[in-house]
Amino acid sequence: MDWTALWLSLRLAGWTVIILLPVAVFFGRFLAHREFWGKGFVEALVALPLVLPPTVFGFYLLIGFGANSPVGQFWQGLFGHQLVFSFEGLLIALVISNLPFAVQPAQRGFEAIALDVREAAACCGMSPLSVLWKVELPLAWPGLMTGMVLVFAHTLGEFGVLLMVGGSIPGETKTIAIAIYDRVQAFDNHGAGVMSATLLAISLVTITITFWLSRRVGQRFG
Amino acid sequence: MLEVKVKAGVPIPLDVSFQVAAGEVLALVGASGSGKSTLLRTIAGLYQPSEARVAVNGAVWLDTGAGINLPTRRRRLGMVFQSYGLFPHMTAAGNVMAALEYLPKPERAAEAARLLALVNLGDMERRRPAELSGGQQQRVAVARALARRPEVLLLDEPFSAVDRSTREKLYQEIRNLRRVLNMPVVLVTHDMSEAQMLADRMVVIDCGRMLASGSAAEVMIDPAALRGVGLREAGSVLNARIVAHEEDGLTRLDTSAGSLLLPRIEGAAGAAVRVRIMAHEVILSRDAPQGLSALNILPVTVLALRQGDGPGMLVELQAGEETILARITQRSALAMGLQAGDACHAILKTMAVAQDNVGVMQPVI
């Protein structure tokens, strides 16, 4: 069992969720409530990572963030190490590739809030922050939570993009999914089996918790 | 005092202006799509027409000419939505408290309890909307609308989502509440009976234009208004008082025009009642009729005759201190030789007055 790889994957998954939660709230809410020119294109852009082959996506990130790219050079100047093949590089790749998993369920969650409920909140004199905190977030919560669980589970299993952008540096960019692949390559089926079973258990537990929570929410408002 | 003036061409054509005094109920009446809800939403700041001015007690809420447009949350108003717009995740008390953010936190629960008691929901504080009936949800919405101590109360078809019997109870509740409502109230409805029973004045709207405005009695004799609301809606409202409930199931009422017998009305003797009499249910007779099944025969004087577009005619009648409308054919009026100033008798079948058209007020003590 490669504990370093598991710990790296959990850290990456946790940080991706932490970064994407506020993004999902504001971007999902914006897309749900606003109509603007080019909205369809923006939505398509958000959904793109769903259909783009991970290797293609990883290739563009490698070019875009590489040592010779402006972004890569800016990063190098700022932190003294390159962005690709680093924890931060993986995190940025994961945040972008998981955007649709976070934003789409959040958007559906905010869209499900009836217009008159939002208007009633304004008529009650509630401040915009109060409306978000007391009315919209509790009602959109099932959608937000579904998105976060999807992001967490998907991040643990992400393979192609991370291999392209991160390589497989132990303790730095070698995640659990890549470690499993490594073990299989080394004919260590036992090691791969243990890690696979661990991932399976984590995935099953998270998805069960989500279903249980969303059913409870449904019963409360039913 | 609420002052509204709207003039807009696109996308929704509107040309309406009206004023509502404190304590007054104004009904905006019209078919769906007439623009009446848009007017209400303009007052609330949920819609902005290209040219409009909304002022409340001298303070300007919206003036497109001067570039003033207060956001909804800064307009102190209460609004009851057609499907209530209750917060589904909050209890009844929580819904009311959401509109009490202007109060210090410790005082909110007590104020919410007071407001829910005002709408007779004192024992439902802890229920969520899904656990309340349609009528109860509407009352929570009313309590929430009043919570902000609004300067204007807006009711958007508030009775359309409940059944008939509940509606009658809610009408009564609103009428009773009027004693504590000292702000302008605007009621949007497509239901003429609702407007006549609840409102002091009405504005009839058709395709965004004002067809007529004035008291119910004034609007009812206005042929232009009747074209908007439909001729069969023509009717008058009599103020009456319950005298007694008779053994055969009828209720005897006293009006300034004489006594009326109607199907049983729930209410104590002495209670004030408004009875809506549909113009097409009234029969006129020159002589006092004999041997007729109709129980209500009131002596009246013809005030005016108004000819319509079709074969009908609207006759305005003085009955005691009240005005009654009768819709008869021009042929009958001609045969009877009816003219203004003539004395005759108005006949009304007891059974012709539907339960919907009777409104009981709280007994005056």
Determine the pLDDT at residue B359: 75
pLDDT at B74 over 90: yes
Beta carbons of B253 and B243 less than 8 angstroms apart: yes
CATH number of B236-360: 2.40.50.100
Cβ distance of B87 and A122 shorter than 8 Å: no
Cβ distance of A126 and B81 shorter than 8 Å: no
Cβ distance of B88 and A117 shorter than 8 Å: yes
* Predicted confidence (pLDDT) per residue in B196-221, tens digit: 888 889 999 988 888 888 887 788 77
Residues in chain B with CB shorter than 8 Å from the CB of A113 are none
Determine the pLDDT at residue A221: 57
- Which CATH homologous superfamily contains domain A3-221? MetI-like (1.10.3720.10)
Residues in chain A with CB shorter than 8 Å from the CB of B138 are none
- Number of residue pairs across A and B with CB atoms under 8 Å? 77
Residue of B72, B87, B88 lying closest to A122 (CB–CB): B72
For chain B, the average pLDDT equals: 88
Closest-CA residue to A124 (of B181, B61, B98): B98
Alpha carbon B238 to chain centroid, angstroms: 14
pLDDT at B363 over 50: no
Residues in chain A with CB shorter than 8 Å from the CB of B40 are none
In chain B, positions 38-67, which contact chain A (CB-CB < 8 Å)?
A: 44-46
Highest mean pLDDT among B147-156, B257-266, B304-313: B147-156
Determine the pLDDT at residue A120: 95
Lowest-pLDDT range of B17-31, B198-212, B222-236:
B222-236
The stretches of A66-127 forming alpha helices (DSSP H) are: 70-79, 87-97, 99-111, 115-123
Contacts of range A55-64, beta carbons closer than 8 Å, 24 or more positions apart: A55/A160, A55/A161, A55/A164, A57/A97, A57/A160, A57/A161, A57/A164, A58/A93, A58/A160, A58/A161, A58/A162, A58/A163, A58/A164, A58/A165, A59/A164, A61/A89, A61/A92, A61/A93, A61/A96, A61/A161, A61/A164, A61/A165, A62/A164, A62/A165
Domain coordinates of chain B in residue numbers? 2-229, 236-360
Determine the pLDDT at residue A218: 62
Note if the bond before A128 is cis, omega within 30 degrees. no
Question: Using 50, 70 and 90 to split pLDDT, how confident is the model at B362?
Answer: low
Determine the pLDDT at residue A222: 46
Determine the pLDDT at residue A4: 86
Cβ distance of B76 and A124 shorter than 8 Å: no
pLDDT at B361 over 90: no
Alpha carbon B33 to chain centroid, angstroms: 19
* Predicted confidence (pLDDT) per residue in B55-70, tens digit: 999 999 999 999 999 9
B2-229 carries CATH number 3.40.50.880 = no
Determine the pLDDT at residue B54: 95
Measured between CA atoms, the residue of chain B closest to residue A128 is B73
Beta carbons of A158 and A203 less than 8 angstroms apart: no
Lowest-pLDDT range of B43-57, B104-118, B150-164:
B150-164
* Predicted confidence (pLDDT) per residue in A166-186, tens digit: 877 777 788 888 889 888 999
Whether residue B69 lies within 8 A of chain A, CB to CB, comes out as no
Lowest-pLDDT range of A105-119, A148-162, B171-185, B223-237:
B223-237
Residue of B44, B85, B89 lying closest to A114 (CB–CB): B85
Domain coordinates of chain A in residue numbers? 3-221
Determine the pLDDT at residue B365: 34
Whether residue B81 lies within 8 A of chain A, CB to CB, comes out as yes
Question: Using 50, 70 and 90 to split pLDDT, how confident is the model at B3?
Answer: very high
Distance from C-alpha of B167 to C-alpha of B197, rounded to nearest angstrom = 12
Residues in chain B with CB shorter than 8 Å from the CB of A119 are 44, 46, 72, 79, 81, 85
Residues in chain A with CB shorter than 8 Å from the CB of B128 are 220-221
Mean pLDDT within B288-311: 87
Question: Using 50, 70 and 90 to split pLDDT, how confident is the model at B360?
Answer: confident
pLDDT at B364 over 50: no
Whether residue A123 lies within 8 A of chain B, CB to CB, comes out as yes
